[in-house]
Amino acid sequence: MEHPLITDIHDLTLEQLQERITELSRKLGQAHRMGNADLRRQVQMALETYQNRYHDQQQALLRQNRTDDPDFADRIDIS
């Protein structure tokens, strides 16, 4: 489930997304240690949103590289 309040995610680069994922992972660990279940769920939703966007951008970059490189034109797509 993605966090409904995160809206500015589409303009971020892969590096910026990775930084936010790292930061949210650290905050998720803190929420686990504090035992705050509500905070943990909110951070998990935000983390999942950033991870999904990171994955989507990586897939788009892979597709772009695959179409730009004719050496891979004869390969089988298993995705």
pLDDT by 10-residue block (mean), the chain, 79 residues:
74 92 95 92 92 93 74 65
Residues in the chain, total: 79
- Does some domain include residue 39? yes
Question: Structurally, how many domains does the chain consist of?
Answer: 1
Model pLDDT, residue 72: 58
- Does some domain include residue 5? no
Nearest to 14 by CA among 48, 49, 50: 50
- Does some domain include residue 4? no
- Does some domain include residue 49? yes
29, two tokens: 């660990």
**Structural domain span for residue 47:** 13-66
Contacts of residue 79, defined as CB under 8 A and 6 or more positions apart, other chains included, come to 59
Query: In this structure, what are the phi and psi dihedrals at residue 12, rounded to the nearest 5 degrees?
Result: -85, 145
Model pLDDT, residue 11: 87
Residues 69, 50: Cα–Cα separation, whole Å: 28
- Does some domain include residue 34? yes
- Does some domain include residue 2? no
